[in-house]
Amino acid sequence: MTVWTPTDDGYADLSSHDTFVNGSPHNTFARLRREDPVSWTDWDGGEGFWNVVRHADITELNRNWQVMSSARGIRMEDQTYEEYLARRTFQETDPPEHMKTRMKVGKAFSRPVVADFEDQIRALCQPILDEALEMGTFDATKIIARKLPMMMLGQILGTPDEDLPWLVEKGDALIANTDPDFTDHVLDKMQTDEYRMMPFNSPAGAELFDYAKELLAKKNADGDTSGVLHYILQPDKDGNVMPENEFRNFFCLLVAAGNDTTRYSIAAGLQAMCHQPELLGQMQEGGDIWATAPDEIIRWATPALYFRRTASCDHEIHGKTIRKWDKVLYWWASANRDETMFEDPNRVDLMRSPNRHMSFGQGGPHVCLGMHLARLEVRVLFEEFAKRVKLIEPAGPHKFLRSNFVGGIKELPVTLQAK
């Protein structure tokens, strides 16, 4: 059985969030990879954009940040310079500026530092699985996938547990800002002028910022240096401290990006297990599979469907001329199913190796800061799941987010049997 069959007609509108409510339009991506690897989309919400869909092309462009800049925005929506300055994080910077931030925040997310979280993550998994197994039939996104990253976020930020559901709700409103289930301020459906200077164009950004300020004030008053925020606010070797608006935006980025991407990776892994029953058995055999399984689950999920770049100069590719200031979308979702890179790309193969997926934006300066933590959370959650679960079955159709930016299963009814 294939895991999931895309139903688009091969000509889906990639600018439309509605296109993605049934999952990514993989028939369209497959056709574009074959016939039109660098295609143009007209968009009635703003300037149109180029779509780059082949693994090899994205690899080539992604390392070429001199030509393909991040500093004019990373989503398809247009930004004025004023908005850009107000809302940007280090996602919207190019080297060498980008490197300066990364040096400041990178250590806290480096593999050696993150590895120390393993026991903590394993402990957090137990009550989550207890509840799931007790319920038997439930929404796995809500009960399993959403919880672990949320709890880890609390550990990383050093926030009180009782604040976590509120934080995650605000994070969802920021990043899933095109799905009415997650925000009252649906980006493409209402006038958000009032919020355009706030992170992610959303009032939730302002609320998160106030929260971050209070949290820091309290931590400073208590002399509490736990959590990553303290790390990030240390002056660098030249005595520079991150400015307030940058800190605000970075905090929002941690809450939003660091949370739902891992959630949707876990959800996609559970979905795959529902439809490829052999996966649970393979996990239970264990051993070498844990070196490769997390990356395959993350390839399968591709929670960030695309990131945008902006051409800094004219650039020729496949006979097309990308003009200076044109927007260019790197469709990771397509690269991760590229049949010239992955054998049988529409199946989950937990032993896939090498696995040059691009879910973390590998191959360029913006490679995911949290990738080591994401892999660790995914590995430990599925290790613990496989120890305790005898059977997982779908208990109804699953639902995807309404977003062409975040690929996620927002509702995943399953039935579990304990061992």
Partner 1 sequence: MKVTWVLPGEEEVVADVAAGLNLMEAAQNNNVAGIQGECGGSLSCATCHVHVSDAWREKAGEKGEFEEAMLDMADGEVSDGSRLSCQIIMSDDLDGIRLTVLT
Query: Applying CB under 8 A, which residues contact partner 1?
Result: 59, 62-63, 65, 95-96, 98-99, 102-103, 106-107, 110-113, 354, 360, 362-367, 371
Which residue stretches of 190-236 are H helix? 203-222, 228-232
Structure tokens at 6: 């895309």
What's the closest the beta carbon of residue 344 comes to partner 1, in angstroms? 20
Which is closer to partner 1, CB of 139 or CB of 349? 349
What's the closest the beta carbon of residue 364 comes to partner 1, in angstroms? 5
What's the closest the beta carbon of residue 218 comes to partner 1, in angstroms? 29
Q: Distances in Å between the alpha carbon of 60 and those of 12, 54, 265, 337?
A: 25, 10, 26, 17
Q: How far apart (Å, rounded) are the C-alpha atoms in residues 282 and 274?
A: 14
| 389-394 vs 413-418, strand pairing mode | antiparallel
Q: Do the Cβ atoms of 416 and 129 come closer than 8 Å? A: no
What's the closest the beta carbon of residue 63 comes to partner 1, in angstroms? 4
Which is closer to partner 1, CB of 99 or CB of 317? 99
| 68-69 vs 315-317, strand pairing mode | unpaired
Which is closer to partner 1, CB of 111 or CB of 323? 111
Which is closer to partner 1, CB of 356 or CB of 388? 356
Which is closer to partner 1, CB of 17 or CB of 366? 366
What's the closest the beta carbon of residue 371 comes to partner 1, in angstroms? 7
What's phi and psi for 22, nearest 5 deg? Answer: -105, 20
What's the closest the beta carbon of residue 110 comes to partner 1, in angstroms? 3
Query: Which of 272-287 are b and which e, b meaning 16 or more Cβ less than 10 Å from the residue's Cβ?
Result: bbbbbeebbebbeeee
Which is closer to partner 1, CB of 301 or CB of 414? 301
What's the closest the beta carbon of residue 365 comes to partner 1, in angstroms? 4
What's the closest the beta carbon of residue 270 comes to partner 1, in angstroms? 26
Which is closer to partner 1, CB of 95 or CB of 394? 95
Structure tokens at 374: 């994401």
Which is closer to partner 1, CB of 365 or CB of 394? 365
Which is closer to partner 1, CB of 3 or CB of 99? 99
- Give the orientation angle of helix 244-275 with respect to helix 203-222, to 10 degrees: 110
What's the closest the beta carbon of residue 362 comes to partner 1, in angstroms? 5
DSSP string for residues in 253-304: HHHHHHHHHHHHHHHHHHHHHHH-THHHHHHHH-TTHHHHHHHHHHHHH-SB
3-class SS of residue 83:
helix
Which is closer to partner 1, CB of 8 or CB of 92? 92
Residues in the chain, overall count:
419
3-class SS of residue 119:
helix
Which is closer to partner 1, CB of 123 or CB of 351? 351
What's the closest the beta carbon of residue 15 comes to partner 1, in angstroms? 28
Q: Distances in Å between the alpha carbon of 399 and those of 18, 104, 111, 133, 348?
A: 12, 38, 33, 22, 20
Q: How far apart (Å, rounded) are the C-alpha atoms in residues 89 and 242?
A: 11
User: Which phi-psi region, left, alpha or beta, contains residue 391 (left: φ > 0; alpha: ψ -120 to 50)?
Assistant: beta
Q: How far apart (Å, rounded) are the C-alpha atoms in residues 398 and 410?
A: 8
What's the closest the beta carbon of residue 378 comes to partner 1, in angstroms? 16
Eight-class DSSP state of 306: E
